[in-house]
């Protein structure tokens, strides 16, 4: 059973905390209610907002339609082999809480993704990633309600069409598929992936020569993230505000000739991934403020709600950052969060 509310404040359900209200609001605790919700007079498949943890959205003004917040809970084992386990988590499960649960079950594979804000249901949409791991590497399938066909579906990993910070759920599946749960294939035998960034160094200091466990890796990732990233409960933010840009090899070489210390990561398709935070930092933008919005003083990749920021403050600051980075490096930055309402 669900309750409809009207003129509902959204700031408490987003991590950046911009002031905005929803014309209509439902908190979904049972995915079985989805067919009934689709029959409501307030429901419009083209405009409805399916909200998870609110950690990757910016409500730039009041939302004129229905917002449904996914609040379903539950984790269960579906299948076990000697090497792996299929684990299903409901869409409303807190992502970090789910990672911790998988570790407590003795399963590896998600430890590098510890402390990422948001919910399980949002993880395939953005194909979340950190420290050399993307969630697509661990997703077996995604279970959804097809609003268009009014039926339940299970999409395979391939059908989700995962790419860097991308999936089918950001394109033709955006208003069609409501993710109700995600099935992960996790390992019973742990193999660490600690080659990315400063993770190996922190882990070596933490373990003192012994072989790291999945819990060790998770703790190291949490320590690094907490040292660099602000807690949304204390200082509003959406985590990484920009995608790490991909450039062609020739442009990367041009930049490396000027900036030999520039972090860069060659990709299988020949392009090179750059570190957006490094580019912003090199432009001296840490701490830059417009209105109540600011670039975090420790991590240039993060914009924060420093003092009752407005949507106009955030847009102006982001536009200025993109302009300065493009001017200096000839690299276009793309914001990660979804700006709502979407332009028609």
Contact in structure between 252 and 342 (CB atoms under 8 Å): no
Active site residues: 165, 240, 336
Sign of CA dihedral 115, 119, 120, 126: negative
CA distance 223 to 201: 12
């Amino acid at each position: 059973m669900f309750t409809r509310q009207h003129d509902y404040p959204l700031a408490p359900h987003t991590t950046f905390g911009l002031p905005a209200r929803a014309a209509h609001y439902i908190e979904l605790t049972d995915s079985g209610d989805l067919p009934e919700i689709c029959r409501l007079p307030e429901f419009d498949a083209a405009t409805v907002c399916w909200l998870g943890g609110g950690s990757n959205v910016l409500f730039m003004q009041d939302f004129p339609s229905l917002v449904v917040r996914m609040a379903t809970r539950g984790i269960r084992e579906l299948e076990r082999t000697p090497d792996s386990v299929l684990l299903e988590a409901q869409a409303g499960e807190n992502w970090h809480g789910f990672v911790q649960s998988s570790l407590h079950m003795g399963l590896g594979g998600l430890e590098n993704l510890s402390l990422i804000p948001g919910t399980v249901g949002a993880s395939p949409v953005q194909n979340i990633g950190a420290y050399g791991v993307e969630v697509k590497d661990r997703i077996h399938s995604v279970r959804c309600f097809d609003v268009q066909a009014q039926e339940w579906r299970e999409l395979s990993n391939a059908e989700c069409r995962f790419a860097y910070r991308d999936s089918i759920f950001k394109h033709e599946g955006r208003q069609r598929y409501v993710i109700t749960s995600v099935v992960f294939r996790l390992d019973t035998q742990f193999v660490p992936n600690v080659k990315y960034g400063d993770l190996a160094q922190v882990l070596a200091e933490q373990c003192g020569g012994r072989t790291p466990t999945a819990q060790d890796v998770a703790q190291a990732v949490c320590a690094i993230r907490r040292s660099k990233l602000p807690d949304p409960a204390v200082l509003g933010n959406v985590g990484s505000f920009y995608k790490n840009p991909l450039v062609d090899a020739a442009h990367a070489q041009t930049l490396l000739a000027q900036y030999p210390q520039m972090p860069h990561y060659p990709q299988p398709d020949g392009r090179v991934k750059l570190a957006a935070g490094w580019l912003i930092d090199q432009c001296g933008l840490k701490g830059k403020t417009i209105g109540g919005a600011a670039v975090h003083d420790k991590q240039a990749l993060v914009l924060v709600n420093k003092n009752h920021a407005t949507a106009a403050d955030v847009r102006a600051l982001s536009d200025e950052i993109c302009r300065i980075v493009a001017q200096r490096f000839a690299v276009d930055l793309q914001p990660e969060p979804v700006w709502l309402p979407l332009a028609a």
